[in-house]
Amino acid sequence: MAKYYPLSQILTVAKVHPFYSDTQWAPTRERLSDILANSNDHPEDIHLHSFPPTEKAKLYKHIARLTVDTSPQNGYRQSTYISTTGGGSGGAPMVFATDSLENRQQRAAIGSLIRACQIIEPGDWVLTMHVSGHFYRALDLTTELLESAGASVLCAGAEMEMEALVDALNQYRVNVVAGDAGQLVQLVRYLDTLPVNQRASLQIRKMIYTSEPMTPAQRKFITSVLGGVTICSMIGSAEAGPWAVSNPLLTGYNPESPSADFIYDTRAMLLEVLPLSYQGSEVKSNCHDGCIAGVPDGEKGTLLQTSLQRLRNPLVRYVCGDVASLHPLPAEVRARLPAEEAEHYRIVRIYGRDKRISFDWYGEYFEFETVQALMRQAS
């Protein structure tokens, strides 16, 4: 199975997938082969911009139906890796299914990106504090990504007592700790209460956060306790999977800026940035989506994702809710990366959530429409 799929194949499947058409069922693996075999004659007939941007509400309407449709013809429930969105807006978590083999290939590919961007280096031992259970799979996802990158990983999870966790950091000479931003801050807060000599025995050189943004105040606190620790990040979602990484030793870090730079592989993810005005209801209603031109490199706008790693349940022009801008990989960064990989890398600068769509509250994203609906029910 390929690490990446040609855009033509992604669009061929999308054209007959219920996410983007009136087809009833998602394809099984067997049906997928037939779809691709029957489309080889004229793959150029399908264009990316013939698909309008995919809004989350529309996508999840189809997902809700496909998740509970037990027909043997419904490939959405067959041979799939199941991940969940947070359900932070007050609703139940939504299941997003990916072909299980495609998922393994994606993890391996992102592991290569992590290694190439020097977030994991030979000899790194990582302790991860990510959560597991209640349908959430952050622990197994992070573990496999980092192991694919070459790390040796200790799975502490989210329930391990701080005292036992610190003992493990010392006993196994751990030099990298991974977790969501809040977990890392909690750990450092505990370390700050320890005697100076006990803190000095730790060998933590890097931290890797996921799941939620890390604020400048949190970064400042971590470095005030641990000194020159390098704070890296990985970004992903249930819909797109893991897809970009950040290493400040490569991309830099500006504490005065609300943005963060991530490196992504153009073979794995096709990104577009539409004007921020796209989210206006008047623009949506008066202009066909295909006629909205993307903004130039360096200009902020609404981020759209097309995954080139998810074929059976494609993600095409998905409006992920982030404001971002696209940039070429700087020459000085390119020179520090493997040449055969760096030619495929670009920078996406993430400015955070589009405040017209959702807001962040203690690491959870809340959709305005969902919150409004809940408030109307309560009244």
Lowest mean pLDDT, pick from 61-75, 267-281, 317-331: 267-281
Give the list of residues 6+ apart from residue 195 with CB closer than 8 angstroms, or none.
none
Q: What is this structure's pTM?
A: 0.90
Lowest mean pLDDT, pick from 98-102, 271-275, 286-290, 308-312: 286-290
Average pLDDT, the chain: 90
Which one-letter DSSP state was computed for residue 232? E
What is the pLDDT averaged over residues 351-361? 65
Give residue-wise pLDDT tens across range 363-379.
455 555 555 555 556 65
Rg of the chain taking only CA atoms, in angstroms: 21
Domain-wise residue ranges, the chain: 7-378
Give the list of residues 6+ apart from residue 289 with CB closer than 8 angstroms, or none.
52, 53
For the record, the structure tokens of 125 come out as 């031992």
Give the list of residues 6+ apart from residue 121 with CB closer than 8 angstroms, or none.
150
**Number of other residues whose CB lies within 10 A of the CB of residue 140:** 14
Q: Is the dihedral of CA 67, 72, 75, 79 positive or negative?
A: positive
Contact 165, 136 (CB under 8 A): no
Lowest mean pLDDT, pick from 69-73, 83-87, 311-315: 83-87
pLDDT value for 95: 84
User: In the CATH scheme, what is the homologous superfamily, with its name and number, of domain 7-378?
Assistant: ANL, N-terminal domain (3.40.50.12780)
**Number of other residues whose CB lies within 10 A of the CB of residue 280:** 12
Which one-letter DSSP state was computed for residue 53? P
CA distances from 270 to 10, 107, 173 (A): 11, 17, 39
Lowest mean pLDDT, pick from 40-44, 99-103, 273-277: 40-44
pLDDT value for 255: 84
